Amino acid sequence: MLPTPSTAHVSFDLVYEPAEDSFLLLDTLSSLSETAFLRERFSGATTEAGCSSAPLVLEVGVGSGVVLAFVAANAHSVFGRDDVLTLGTDINSFACSAASQTVRSAVTDHKSHSTFLDIVNGDLASSVRPNSVDVFVFNPPYVPAELPDRSRHDAFNARSTGQKSTTFEQESYLLELSYAGGKDGMEVTNRMLEQIPSTLDSERGVAYVLLCAQNKPEAVKQRIREWGSDWRAETVGSSGKKAGWEKLQIVRIWRST
């Protein structure tokens, strides 16, 4: 078991608290089968020039930052190399500052040699340079619940000047953003899936996306396979088995020729 990063400094009134979904991502990314897959895909850290450049890990919707911090702190165990770059985004600016601290502390605490870039405040991966991401991680808002009204986002996304505490309305809004996924819990995930081919590195890119049973994971995987004959989508981690149903699962998306 690799150590779980500390999120003791995070205010869970404003930022999604690590839960079963977060821990499933940690377990999956550090499982024997995934570390073997990732080490092979990103091997060659020490070969001649140009053979294997430093891999970039992007997590969208970092929340507390626990997942990205875990990858950053345990990069050597997961990838078998120390030159891993980590970058995150979140729509919630409070999450950005909190996650940034989570990753920085985890890297220091675990004496990791990986390189943390930043957490930027943005919508999904919209600000990331196309086809630059090697490993993409997404724990989406997957609960079938109405999407929050974003018209007041700017007002809720920061503490207004002189305001010491946040309001209940603001807190509810920010937390809703972190879990409400619209119809089938798939509205945000679908928007992200559409961007995956243009976000991932076209050769070695790989994505890990969490889905719940109500997201109809089998149909989602089938749709991804229809992107083209080289696209693959497989379940590589799951939890909460109930009457033959996996409550949560991690789907790995990649290209293979």
Partner 1 sequence: MKLLTLNFLTCARRTCKTSPSSFPLHPREAELEILESELNLVFLRNILPRLMWSELRGIGEELGLPSLPESPPSREDLVTKPSPAKPSSVTEPSSVEEEGGEGEEVPSQTAKDLHRLLLETTIKEGKLVCGNCGHEYAVKEGVANFLLPGHLV
Give me the residues that bind partner 1 (CB under 8 A), please. Answer: 45-46, 49-50, 52-54, 56, 80-83, 85, 87, 89, 91, 93, 96-97, 100, 113, 115, 117-123, 126-130, 132, 150-151, 153-154, 157, 198
Tokens read off for 126: 């919209």
- For residues 129 and 242, which CB has a smaller minimum distance to partner 1 in the complex? 129
Task: Label residue 63 left, alpha or beta by phi (over 0 means left) and psi (-120 to 50 means alpha).
Answer: left
Beta carbon of residue 118, minimum distance to partner 1 (angstroms, whole number): 5
In angstroms, rounded to a whole number, what is the distance separating the alpha carbons of residues 64 and 40? 29
Beta carbon of residue 113, minimum distance to partner 1 (angstroms, whole number): 5
Query: Which helix or strand (DSSP H or E) is residue 79 part of?
Result: helix 75-79
- For residues 45 and 236, which CB has a smaller minimum distance to partner 1 in the complex? 45
- For residues 41 and 81, which CB has a smaller minimum distance to partner 1 in the complex? 81
Beta carbon of residue 23, minimum distance to partner 1 (angstroms, whole number): 26
Beta bridge partners of 242: 245
Task: Label residue 184 left, alpha or beta by phi (over 0 means left) and psi (-120 to 50 means alpha).
Answer: left
In angstroms, rounded to a whole number, what is the distance separating the alpha carbons of residues 178 and 68? 16
- For residues 8 and 49, which CB has a smaller minimum distance to partner 1 in the complex? 49
- For residues 153 and 232, which CB has a smaller minimum distance to partner 1 in the complex? 153
- For residues 54 and 236, which CB has a smaller minimum distance to partner 1 in the complex? 54
Angle between helices 32-41 and 20-29 (to 10 degrees): 60
Task: Tell me phi and psi for residue 199, to 5 degrees.
Answer: -95, -40
How many CB atoms neighbour CB 228 within 10 A?
A: 9
Beta carbon of residue 102, minimum distance to partner 1 (angstroms, whole number): 14
Beta carbon of residue 45, minimum distance to partner 1 (angstroms, whole number): 7
In angstroms, rounded to a whole number, what is the distance separating the alpha carbons of residues 161 and 218? 47
Beta carbon of residue 96, minimum distance to partner 1 (angstroms, whole number): 5
